[in-house]
Amino acid sequence: MQRYIAFIENEYYHIYSRGTEKRKTFMNSNDYFRFSLLLYLCNSTENIHLSKLFRSLELKARMAGKTSRQGGSLTGKISKKDLYKLFEIPTKNKLVSIISYCLMPNHFHLILKEIRPGGISIFMKKLLTAYSMHFNKKYERSGALFTRPFKSEHINDDNYFRYLFAYIHLNPVKLIDSKWKENGIKDLKKTKEFLSSYEYSSFLDFLRKNRPERKILAFDDIPDYFSEVSDFKDFIEYFLENTPVKEAP
């Protein structure tokens, strides 16, 4: 199936896809971490070989005597702390600017800015190929993991940008209240606490939490009206309290 939208340089796009037959694409925290790491490492014109990076980390762990399976590692040999060091690898010649993201059990949402010809298409091919190959090998399956092609919508004005920015970051609320969009928020405090604890989106990064995943985002390309933490909090709270959030395309 061919794509009919042309990505224009310096324009923003909502990119999204879900698992084939609405299947789960993230089975546990390690899968979410893997995709987040790939968001960072795949955003380069250079090829990154994760297997080589993991082998290097495993060797360093053995030399340091840190081969325990504790710590929620991805391989059973590398601690999460050591895995986070992969976010310190410089990524040269970015393909896209990543503005925001949210990973859900069976789908994901991104806001990307096209910064070079073909950047979004190349980035998405690298990202989805790398993650799908890992997932299929890990869970002994074959075939497409995500629906093809990935979906895209041009963000052509500020109002739509603000709406999508809220929609993407509020998506996880459905995990604790599947009907909140129809019925409204029942417990605002509980909802905000849940969002502030959800690790698999850029929500925490706009709260200026100090975590390695912040490097995924291109803060220089994010509109000024989200530059302050207080502005972001007020914006999210306004949407939670006052705005019906309809399903994005």
Going along the chain from its start, the domains and CATH numbers come out as 12-48+89-242 (3.30.70.1290)
Question: What's the whole-number mean pLDDT along residues 61-86?
Answer: 63
Q: Starting at the earlier edge strand, list the strands of the sheet with 151-155.
A: 96-104, 107-114, 12-18, 151-155
- In this prediction, residue 239 carries a pLDDT of 87
Least confident residue range of 133-137, 144-148, 179-183: 179-183
- The H or E element containing residue 143 is none
Taking only the tens place, the pLDDT of each residue in 4-38 is 678 999 999 999 999 999 899 999 999 999 999 99
Per DSSP, the three-state class of 108 is strand
Whether a cis peptide bond, with omega within 30° of 0, leads into 172 is no
**Mean pLDDT score, 163-183:** 91
Q: Say yes or no to pLDDT of 248 above 60.
A: no
Residue 70 confidence (pLDDT) = 43
**pLDDT bracket for residue 122 (50, 70, 90):** very high
DSSP string, 144-193: -SB-SSPEEEEE-SHHHHHHHHHHHHHGGGGGT-TTHHHH--S-HHHHHH
